[in-house]
Amino acid sequence: PTLFIEPTNEAEIYNLIKNIKKSSSAGEDGISSNILKCCIDYILQPLTYLINLSLSQGVFPEVLKTSKIKPLHKKNDPKNIENYRPVSLLSTLSKILEKVISNRIVSFLSKYNILHDAQHGFRSSKSTETAIQNFLEHLYNNMDNGKKTVGLFMDLSKAFDLVDHQLLLIKLNAYGLRGLVSDLIKSYLDNRFQFVEIDNVKSDKLIINCGVPQGSVLGPLLFILFVNDLPLTVGDRELVMYADDNSYLCARNDITQVINEIQSKLYVFCKWFLDNKLFLNMSKTVFINFTPKTKEISQSYLVKVNGISVKQVANVKFLGIHLDNNLAWETHVNSICIKLSSKCFCLGRLKC
């Protein structure tokens, strides 16, 4: 199948502008969503015309391809650059055009069931909750069947920023996003720039040669398409993906078989990441030997790749929850109690 992008109309653009989140923040052009909402009746017809022109020519407007980066202080010493998180602000008009394109791509992917079931990120019918449910369902089923089970949790460094454009376009072509659609996405990715703004002082612009735009509408969709073939390479159903978070469960009758299988699969994962120019962060990649509390004490095992040992841990934070190796949920419960304690303290202060 091949995707042919249909033109938009004023009704669709009107609804997109009405439904976009209210905000005074704006990209380089200074046009916020609040401004768009206020003048929607005046710009609707010309904006619809320009968007259709972009779709019909397979060209994404150059003026919409610059990101404004604003550093957001997280915590601790404000003089330390490591304590800041970059926030990417794109043109609101860009997001409207991206949403038009995204709607058509998502409809096409859904119609032909192209996205792998293992992927739970950035999909309307899935979420972190479905990913966690899927993972725990596999885990408890293995335990109930008396299987030795090990979980491998892989951390990719700057995965969204490292997407190779040429590889991405090749994959999109294989999925049916070719011809004019491919031209449009290539135009969207090419010649993108970003600059940093602090207290109204702007840095020089820097060209971006790889990656998908942070804070964009199309970026997450393009990323999950880029990694869509990973489950096919591994050849196993017990892989759970949420965007760039990848977890893999292996269960066998004997723990030695499990460790050997984890070792073998890790080589496969590493080769796929290398072939696709992504970087597996070995310092944050860990594995857990799940042992129910009442049965046995977890032992230490050795898993290595490229001469680097993978750390075995007793608990790991997985998509917002804390998993213990004995499945007692103690770490997760304690974490929630600490959060509740601080909230209760704040409420108590307000009451006084």
The pLDDT value recorded for residue 239 is 95
The pLDDT value recorded for residue 174 is 98
Contact 67, 214 (CB under 8 A): yes
- pLDDT band at residue 339 using 50, 70 and 90 as cut-offs: confident
pLDDT 10s digits, 256-280: 999 999 999 999 999 999 999 999 9
- pLDDT band at residue 281 using 50, 70 and 90 as cut-offs: very high
Asked if residue 265 is part of any domain, the answer here is yes
Contact 312, 301 (CB under 8 A): yes
Is pLDDT at 295 greater than 70 in this prediction? no
Same domain, 144 and 249: yes
**What is the torsional sign of CA 232, 235, 237, 242?**
negative
Asked if residue 218 is part of any domain, the answer here is no
Same domain, 45 and 151: no
Same domain, 108 and 170: yes
Which residue, among 177, 190, 35, 27, has the nearest Cα to 111 in the 3D structure?
177
The first and second tokens of residue 224, run together, are: 């999950």
- Segments in the chain forming alpha helices (H): 10-19, 33-38, 40-57, 92-111, 128-144, 165-174, 180-189, 218-226, 230-234, 255-275, 330-351
Asked if residue 343 is part of any domain, the answer here is yes
pLDDT 10s digits, 143-160: 999 999 999 999 999 999
The first and second tokens of residue 311, run together, are: 């750390």
Same domain, 124 and 99: no
- pLDDT band at residue 328 using 50, 70 and 90 as cut-offs: confident
Asked if residue 259 is part of any domain, the answer here is yes
Q: What phi, psi does 58 have (nearest 5°)?
A: 65, 35
Same domain, 108 and 143: no
The first and second tokens of residue 46, run together, are: 């010309």
Same domain, 149 and 188: no
- Average of per-residue pLDDT across 230-256: 91
Which residue, among 229, 221, 224, has the nearest Cα to 104 in the 3D structure?
221
- pLDDT band at residue 2 using 50, 70 and 90 as cut-offs: very high
Q: What phi, psi does 322 have (nearest 5°)?
A: -100, 120
Angle CA 19–21–22, to nearest 5: 115
| 318: alpha, beta or left? (left if phi > 0; alpha if psi -120 to 50) | beta
* Cα-only R_g, the chain: 23
Same domain, 134 and 269: yes
Same domain, 193 and 328: no
pLDDT 10s digits, 76-99: 898 888 889 999 999 999 999 999
- Domain residues for the domain of 200 are 1-118+165-209
Same domain, 83 and 127: no
Is pLDDT at 296 greater than 90 in this prediction? no
Is pLDDT at 117 greater than 90 in this prediction? yes
Asked if residue 142 is part of any domain, the answer here is yes
Asked if residue 221 is part of any domain, the answer here is no
Burial of 227 (0-12, 13-18, 19+ CB in 10 A): buried
pLDDT 10s digits, 18-56: 999 999 999 999 999 999 999 999 999 999 999 999 999
Same domain, 96 and 67: yes
Asked if residue 219 is part of any domain, the answer here is no
Q: Which residues, in sequence order, are CB contacts of 65 under 8 Å at separation 6+?
A: 94, 188, 191, 192, 193
Same domain, 293 and 149: yes
Same domain, 175 and 268: no
Asked if residue 184 is part of any domain, the answer here is yes
3-state SS of 263-291 is: HHHHHHHHHHHHHCCCCECCCCCEEEEEC
The number of folded domains in the chain is 2
Report which DSSP code applies to 142. Answer: H
Strands 206-208, 192-198: pairing kind? antiparallel
